[in-house]
Amino acid sequence: MPTKQQYLDEVKEVLHSSAREHTTSFDQEYCFDGIIDEGATRIAIKISLTIDNVETHSLEELSRICPILKCTPLIIGERTRKRGLQDGVVHTRGSISAITLETLRRLLEEGTLPLIVAKKGGIYSIVNGQKLKAAREALHFSRGDVADEMGLSRRAVYEYERGTISPTIDVALRLEKLLKANLIEPINLLKCDSVSEVSSPTSEIAGKQTHLAKKALEILSRLGFHSTLTHDTPFDMLTPLRKQVLLSYLKHPLERFDEERLIFLAKLADVLDEEPAIITSDHSSVETINGIPVVYLKELLEIENPKEFIALIRNRRGA
């Protein structure tokens, strides 16, 4: 098993050779270590050799911010505390899928999706219920006929057709053989749930709101934007604009900014094609830092509509 640094080097090599576009920052304080842009697909990856070691708060934050950023969260690792992970098999940590680096490589290079998911009690496959029903009826089999041949209950066959439960891989393969049909579906790791409204911050984040954060939320809300504060991320706030998302770094005093964090934020914005900004209550006159527009609360207070706000950010970013 590689060391942590060796594994990170392997991840970098796979991303450089296989990903369309990506950026990484293996900073343990963030809930994700990188973003991959595959055109129609975005992936937020968290790297952990042992997937059980990913903290619960990181999983929760990933689940909260990924729908806003239209990203699929994935944990990349090689083992649990008890055993190694298998290539081509989807494991889970909380509600987030976990796969090996080799599985990620196949996904990026070949578009190959896994066919097996590991759950408590065994390994399972996703069976296309409509195809199962059509194949059964084409052979003039009743659900009872299939159940008897397979040693299953009729209820199980009914639930497979409805898609409410998944068969083990052994049962799925036997069903395909019995019904002479391809029934096993690839597991769509890259399905991203859309978000209809911005999720609320956790009580921990809400309890740590600074005066700057409260004022920024209040002003943006007045302009019709529904922002959310974030935690363990290179940005402090997400604001869905019309077609993009504003990634905001909230900072006061301005001169004490974290340069490495801003560099990662700028790269994230480029890869995601989103808008970055630094929002501050400072009274400086600096318009950009590291190419990121600086927006002052005093300016926000004078803005009357969303168009002015978006124009300010985009004009300043191009300055």
Per-residue pLDDT, averaged over 258-264, amounts to: 93
Residues 109 and 162 in one domain: no
Above 70 in pLDDT, residue 199?
no
Residues 132 and 229 in one domain: no
Residue 236, Cβ neighbours under 10 Å: how many?
Answer: 22
Above 60 in pLDDT, residue 45?
yes
Residues 71 and 134 in one domain: no
Q: Are 106 and 112 in contact (CB under 8 A)?
A: yes
Establish if 197 belongs to a structural domain.
no
pTM over 0.75: yes
Above 70 in pLDDT, residue 194?
no
Residues 209 and 273 in one domain: yes
Q: How does residue 35 score in pLDDT terms, banded at 50, 70 and 90?
A: very high
Look over the chain and give the mean of its residue pLDDT values, rounded to a whole number: 91
Q: How does residue 201 score in pLDDT terms, banded at 50, 70 and 90?
A: low
Establish if 192 belongs to a structural domain.
no
Establish if 13 belongs to a structural domain.
yes
Establish if 134 belongs to a structural domain.
yes
Weakest mean pLDDT among 92-96, 159-163, 183-187, 202-206 = 202-206
In what helix (H) or strand (E) does residue 98 lie, and over which residues does it extend?
strand 96-99
Q: Which of 71, 95, 114 is the last residue of a domain?
A: 114
Nearest to 66 by CA among 75, 54, 76: 75
Establish if 69 belongs to a structural domain.
yes
Establish if 300 belongs to a structural domain.
yes
Q: How does residue 284 score in pLDDT terms, banded at 50, 70 and 90?
A: confident
Establish if 194 belongs to a structural domain.
no
The pLDDT of residue 95: 87
Residues 79 and 142 in one domain: no
Residues 27 and 82 in one domain: yes
Q: Which of 133, 157, 185 is the last residue of a domain?
A: 185
Per-residue pLDDT, averaged over 153-159, amounts to: 96
The pLDDT of residue 196: 43
Calculate the alpha carbon distances from 287 to 253, 278, 312 in Å: 15, 10, 10
Above 70 in pLDDT, residue 262?
yes
Q: Which domain CATH number covers 10?
A: 3.40.1350
Q: Which domain CATH number covers 140?
A: 1.10.260.40
Nearest to 64 by CA among 198, 196, 192: 198
Which residues are CB-contacts of 196 (< 8 A; sequence separation ≥ 6)? none
Q: How does residue 208 score in pLDDT terms, banded at 50, 70 and 90?
A: low
Q: How many domains does the chain have?
A: 3
Q: How does residue 29 score in pLDDT terms, banded at 50, 70 and 90?
A: confident
CA distance 55 to 213: 25
Residues 57 and 130 in one domain: no
State the residue range of the domain holding 86.
Answer: 4-114
Residues 234 and 269 in one domain: yes
Nearest to 45 by CA among 23, 64, 60: 23
Which residues are CB-contacts of 257 (< 8 A; sequence separation ≥ 6)? 249, 251, 278, 289
Establish if 196 belongs to a structural domain.
no
Q: Could you tell me what percent of the chain has a pLDDT over 70?
A: 94
Q: Which of 114, 136, 169 is the last residue of a domain?
A: 114
pLDDT in tens, 54-78: 999 999 999 999 999 999 999 999 9
Q: How does residue 192 score in pLDDT terms, banded at 50, 70 and 90?
A: low
